[in-house]
Structure 1
């Protein structure tokens, strides 16, 4: 007998939605593979939707609803479910980074975690607590392996110019950090833009945020908090943040000009001369 995962419909609206899909599927006498053949999704994907380990795209819902004879009930339920905050396990940033096909992020205070050097990461993570700091740093640096895999996500980063001037860990740490950013100048999958002080007011004044896009999953908007992250798959909110991000990208310097600004700040502020002979990171 197959190992069927028990569902907890009360865990979150996303769990309740998945439980309803399973209930209707079982009432229809369909296996995951059979339903998948009808709605053009894999049985594995449907199983992950039922167990709330993946979120479907909006376009999937009417097909599933029609195939299960739900008469619009699943469509209405999904409109409610996607407006709620995702369950805490879904907000794990490493999981989102590891499965995304594209990551777009605006950073107002710090270098993004996927681009942090170990020294910079140690200073950031150790601000309040030193317990298990080595483990935390290793975990953060370990996340960066997604950028060197065979099929990496597209990472597009807009950094506020303040990030370059905020001296985290002293001149040596900052010099190495900015040099590390320049290592990505010739890496097509990593694009870095700097939003200059001269941009004045801009669409990111309310703070940092990240947008994750997936091949077969609903997109996710994410923001860090002091205690935990906030994430949503609400189409309306993702659209609003996508517009905000596009405006930021349009206001920022082009990648080439951004690299020149990073190099200038690195030399003038941190007395660290960029090494133009270094090739792109692996």
Structure 2
């Protein structure tokens, strides 16, 4: 599994800067046997939807839990407070995707780069300022001009990186589209592996201090093996039903990943026995390419499991 994930991740990252993988994504390519049809691309409607979702997430994260303090009123003039490095970095990183998405939502063929950046900055600054103004009536929030400045810096940085990221996303999307047609189980296993890694690691509150690492290692080694419905630290104490469900759901996800890895391994066997099986028009006689590959993988996987 680590080898497959590492290989697919390396190829995925490499494809981001390889324009030859994408080619002309606005027309069909009948000369390409593996991928003759035009790959779908991220349109402006999709980008605008992501931008709206990002704005909603930022507003919710900035204002939650919406605990309005009695007696406070909206103050349109914000104050200045001592700089906190951690808060400044957080403000930059949070609004970086917003500036990126705002520029991509406005960007089109023929538009000037300066107008795109100005539009993105206007969106970011307006959203940040209104959020800070609303924070003036919240009990647990501190509104500050410095937050607006660092939010604008993050949005500007995202707007500057937007063309590069758009290029990488289009290339990687075309690569994934091609892989799903030529190596569907490899691509599916890679996608599930990335999703599970994100689920296991989020939130990324990394504290790489020696004391923290030693404490985490001691907790891991002290954990006993136990059945899913009891606590690992205290096998005599049963878990709550929701925790049991969470454990079983996670185990099911890893089981699905193992199933896809078996199919990916059998996919290589199909190519060795029938070269070109997964390519349209190159399947063995009397064996439709996609159905045969799926049936072969399923039967071999069931044989391995049972």
Give TM-score, length-normalised by structure 1.
0.24
Richer in strand (by share)? 1
Kindly indicate which of the two structures has a greater share of residues assigned to helix: 2
For the pair shown, the structure with the greater C-alpha radius of gyration is 2
Normalised to the residue count of structure 2, the TM-score between the two structures is 0.23
